[in-house]
Amino acid sequence: MVLELTLEDKLYRTRFESDPDHSHIEVDDEVCRLCETRICLSICPAKVYTPNPNDESLIAVSHENCLECGTCRIACPNEGITWRFPDGAMGVKYRFG
């Protein structure tokens, strides 16, 4: 029997301590407007980046879902994403399972 988990199931098994007032991810809107590839929408395993519902040329960031892999800052060809580890004891706490 193969157990297939959805992304939501996998994220549920990771404990986060998010800081809603201080995102550890910043997106440069001007750089994003000019980006043709928008690789951040598909490269992030936690789907942190989505098209902004109010302006499709911008990116919405759900930093509270970040798995802290850093893939986004490496993959962005225009260096439009500033990523740093969350402050203090914030971020991913442990993985279960």
Summarize pLDDT for 47-76 with one digit per residue, the tens. Answer: 899 999 999 899 999 888 888 888 998 999
**Arithmetic mean of pLDDT, 10-29:** 80
The mean predicted confidence, pLDDT, of the chain is 84
Q: Which pLDDT does position 28 carry in this prediction?
A: 95
Q: Which pLDDT does position 29 carry in this prediction?
A: 94
Surface-to-core class of residue 49, CB atoms within 10 Å of its CB (0-12 exposed, 13-18 middle, 19+ buried)? buried
Q: Return the sign of the alpha-carbon dihedral for residues 11, 13, 19, 23.
A: negative
**Arithmetic mean of pLDDT, 3-23:** 75
pLDDT tens string 33-48? 999 899 999 999 888 9
- Domains in the chain, start-ordered, CATH in brackets? 23-95 (3.30.70.20)
